[in-house]
Amino acid sequence: MVHYVNSFSIDLGRMEEFEVVTITETVTIKDLTFESLHTYWKAVTTGELYLPFDDPDINLRSDYAKYKQAKNLLATEDIIDIRKKYGLSLRSFAKLLGIGYSTLSKIENGVVQSNVHDALLRLASDPHGFYTKLVVPKSELLTAKELAKSEKVIKDMGGATFR
């Protein structure tokens, strides 16, 4: 079934009808080459292809997700879930991990993490290890509210015995 969308085209300076098309393309990320199905909007009047105006990163996210899966790296959603399960802000979680806020932000937005960052995030997914190896020794990096919330979450998970 053919799907169409109507949107304003800056290139054409008017409303345009676009056909949503998928094209199989060869993608190379770092050391891995693979086939990937990409979504584009094809202008009905000109035939020109555009990235979807409502989600121009759709193909990039899909490619990175395939790369992460092939390289056995944590998925973006899993990384976000690890941080959120402890009730920590992005900045506080990055401080505890000993990585930059902007690095963690990029990783949570889909950039492929290094193997070192992936290992840190996998270690942080264990409540007991996270609490005893990161939260306790670095508790001064958290606000009292963040510390209390993290302790409660970890205790509810049965992950740690507190001081």
pLDDT in tens, 99-113: 999 999 999 999 999
Mean pLDDT of 63-76: 96
Q: Is residue 163 part of a domain?
A: no
Do residues 81 and 132 share a domain? yes
Compute the distance between CA of residue 52 and CA of residue 18 in angstroms, rounded to an integer.
Answer: 9
Q: What is the mean pLDDT of the chain?
A: 92
Do residues 45 and 85 share a domain? no
Helix (H) or strand (E) holding 128: helix 127-130
Q: Is residue 64 part of a domain?
A: no
- Number of C-alpha atoms within 13 angstroms, CB side, residue 73? 19
Question: pLDDT band at 159, cuts 50/70/90?
Answer: low
pTM for the whole structure: 0.82
Question: pLDDT band at 59, cuts 50/70/90?
Answer: very high
Using an 8 Å Cβ cutoff, are 51 and 59 in contact?
yes
Q: Is residue 162 part of a domain?
A: no
